[in-house]
Amino acid sequence: MFLLDITTKNLEELLHSLPEEYQSPLDIAKALDAAQAAKKHLDFIMHMNPDAMSTFRINLTKNTLSDGVSAYKNLKKLQDKNTLDGYVEDALQFFPFESEKKTFSKRFNREHLIQSFLSGYTQVSMEHHYMLTDKNQRILNTIVSMIENKATKEIEGVVYTLDVTKQTYYSRINDLIFNSTDICIVVINIKTKTFIIPQVSPAIQLSATFEPQDYSENAFSIAENFVVETDREDYLKKCSIPSIIKKLDEFGEYSFPVKGTRDGKNVILEYSYYYMDENHEQIIGKAEDITKSAQRELDLKAALTAARKANNAKSDFLSNMSHDIRTPLNAIINLANLLYEEINEPDKLRLDIQKIEIAGEFLLQLINDVLDISAIESGRIKLVPRVYTYDSFLSYIKGIIVPLCENKDIHFILDEGPTSLDIYMDRVRFHQVFFNILSNAVKYTPPGGTVTFRTTNNVVHDGVLTCDFIVTDTGCGMSQDFITHAFEPFAREDSQNAYIGTGLGLTICKRILDLMGADIKIESEIGKGTKVTVHMDLQIATEAQKEQSQAELDSSHLRLETSGNETQQRILVVEDNEINQEILARLLEKKNYEVDTADNGKEAIEKIKNHGGNYYKLVLMDIRMPVMDGLEATALIRKNPDENISRIPIVAITANAFAEDAQECLDAGMNACLAKPISPASLYSMAATYLPSKSTTSNM
């Protein structure tokens, strides 16, 4: 029966193409049966897509192309070379995009198709753009279906092309709909200037309709009822059909934001437009609520602006640092050179030494302030609350500020406020805040003026003392414009005097008070003085906190107990820098102390062990040293089984000026800290705290 469908010519061709292995009539019959089955399969594929734009039969093994059918000339023309390779080569000339050309050429390469079939794939396809005419661009899907002809052992198949342009556009609409949560889709007919609404999300109070509506009337209605008044004219211009067409022809896509109101809330919609078809007869329009994303974009822009501002502030900071460091350094270096020439002129010598001291103190204050700012901004500074009395705070104010006022002939008024209260607060930072504020008041108040420190609004409630600390002065005052910048780094209204201040004091105060949850406010007027108000909630110490504080104090005193009644006062200076060793030794020897030195912690431990526990009465221990640092050496000394050694007073001498660094020294077992550069007064005060001078001992 299968022979009925095969012509004599086809039969001859088929018999001729059969492999030599088909010898017997039965083998030939089986082969012809297989060939007929292959033909039926391919005929089915040829006719199963009646809407195909073109269909060709192919033989991959022989590289042939035949039986082409197409209603389009440039598709039918692809059969001219009668080879699959030629079909692919000629088709590429109608591809508008290079990227698609490369993919098509690789995917439909004959060797690639054969390898795909041998790997189990019977179909290979690709969607691509194709120019049917110079102005008619379509989206096609080229498909190759492959089978093996069991009779000839050859790989045959059919290549056909489907027009999927409309499906792609409708898919684009679906993407627009399903990729958005708050959206309205319209399709605009350019010729009739009407539109339909095929899709509306539930969030928008409109109804989908396929009844054409006048586009211009609807645009005016939206402008009147939705768009904010200031943007209506601009909206109507942008959404007009001529404007949309112009933008689409130029860019392919077109979108713009619209500010409006919905349900009493301000919203932002983004209107977007695309051509619906290749003939540019219809336009897809989309309105999407982008209020949240627009706000995120504004937030990102604000963050970017803040980052740029911070970067500019960093540059300004470094510039100011360079200026403020070089100015006192210039004075120190050049005045030191002048000292050689003035060695025989005591009056000039004394004045220049005083100027060097002033420049050095300014440089030290600048370094301390910069380190504080850096530590605060990097989060390194942590508040370390301790119990201390309000009376102690007042004693600190009297001891520090009163001498400053007396030196300038300034009248200082102190309102003592709520005395005899135990406060739980970071004492070091608390003192730092009010020292900066009060020292500024003294600095900018002329001789004969007045500085006042008082507390008001004192209320105790639930274990908290709420109060306002107010510092007023009769100084030069600040302009209203400067007050808005007073807490910025290096902010200085009066720059005529290079040493009037670092411009960091108020910045540090503000950052510390922020950490404490406190507020600071400045009121001032040029020529009439300044008022600074600090509002704070101070925790009153509990009984448990007081007991813990007393236990720590008792433990500290216990460490100071030493055995023996020797009158010799010998100090061990542990410092790796020879110049610093010499300076400390000379200063101590001026007060009749005996001084030994060690270059590192290991050498110090060896000297202490060799001389025994009663030899050194005090150890001045540097922190950073080679071989063994001061913290490690202190820990080993405290662990020594000989109590005379383990209880030797140890004072840290360190360039680390932060409060947390001092706490680290205390935690390691040291008794106290001296921050470099060490002034003679602080050195002598510290030595006198732990042992009397040799001259004093001899007089007892």
For the stretch 23-45, pLDDT in tens is 555 555 665 666 677 778 777 77
pLDDT band at 123 (very low <50, low <70, confident <90, very high): very high
Give me the residue label for tokens 């035949």. 66
Rounded Cα–Cα distance for residues 216 and 465 (Å):
69
Q: Where does the pLDDT of residue 664 fall: very low under 50, low under 70, confident under 90, or very high at 90 and above? A: confident
The C-alpha atoms of residue 79 and residue 59 are separated, in whole angstroms, by 13
pLDDT at 356 over 60: yes
- Tell me the pLDDT of the chain averaged across its residues: 81
What was the pLDDT predicted at 619?
A: 95
Is it true that the peptide bond before 677 is cis, omega within 30 degrees of 0?
A: yes
Tell whether the model's pLDDT for residue 700 goes beyond 60: no
Q: Give the per-residue pLDDT at 637.
A: 93
Determine the pLDDT at residue 114.
94
Does the pLDDT value for residue 159 go beyond 80?
yes
Say how far apart CA 469 and CA 605 lie, in whole Å.
49
The model's pLDDT over 299-349, given as tens digits with 9 standing for 90+, comes to 788 888 777 876 776 676 666 667 667 767 877 888 888 888 888 888 888
pLDDT recorded at residue 407: 85
Looking at per-residue pLDDT, the higher value among 558 and 646 belongs to 646
Closest Cα partner for 364 from 121, 628, 682, 55?
682
Q: Which two tokens stand for residue 644?
A: 């005379």
Q: What is the mean pLDDT of residues 374-383?
A: 73
Q: To 10 degrees, the CA torsion angle through 169, 171, 174, 178?
A: -130
Q: Residue 450: its pLDDT value, please?
A: 95
Which of 148-162, 301-315, 398-412 is least confident? 301-315
Residues 514-573 have pLDDT tens digits of 989 999 999 999 989 999 999 999 888 888 888 877 766 655 444 444 433 344 689 999
pLDDT in tens, 85-97: 988 988 898 888 8
Contacts 24+ apart (CB under 8 A), 274-281: 274/172, 274/248, 275/248, 276/169, 276/187, 277/165, 277/166, 277/169, 278/136, 278/137, 278/138, 278/165, 279/136, 280/190, 280/245, 280/248, 281/189, 281/190, 281/191
pLDDT one-digit tens code per residue, 458-512: 888 888 888 899 999 999 898 888 888 888 776 666 544 444 556 677 888 898 8
pLDDT attached to residue 176: 54
Instruction: Write the DSSP string, 297-361.
Output: HHHHHHHHHHHHHHHHHHHHHHHHHHHHHHHHHHHHHHHHHHHHHTTT-HHHHHHHHHHHHHHHH
- Give the per-residue pLDDT at 566: 41
How far apart, in whole angstroms, are the C-alpha atoms of residue 57 and residue 50?
A: 15
Residue 182 has pLDDT above 80, yes or no: no
| DSSP sequence for 546-593 | HHHHHHHHHHHHHHH---------EEEEE-S-HHHHHHHHHHHHTTT-
pLDDT tens for each residue of 243-284: 999 999 888 889 998 888 877 788 888 889 988 766 788 888
Query: Between 360 and 456, where is the model more confident?
Result: 456
pLDDT digits (tens, 9 = 90+) for 68-77: 788 777 777 7
User: Tokens 């103190």 identify what position?
Assistant: 361
pLDDT in tens, 424-469: 888 888 888 898 899 889 988 999 999 999 988 888 888 888 889 9
pLDDT tier for residue 3 given thresholds of 50, 70 and 90: very low
Q: Please say if the pLDDT value at position 21 is more than 60.
A: no
Exposure on the CB side of residue 238, measured as CA atoms within 13 A: 17
**Distance between the two ends of the chain, CA-based, in angstroms?**
140
- pLDDT of res. 499: 44
**What are the start-end ranges of the E strands in 78-136?**
123-131
Question: 601-629 burial, b for 16+ CB within 10 Å, e for fewer?
Answer: bbbbbebbeeeebbbbbbbbbbbebeebb
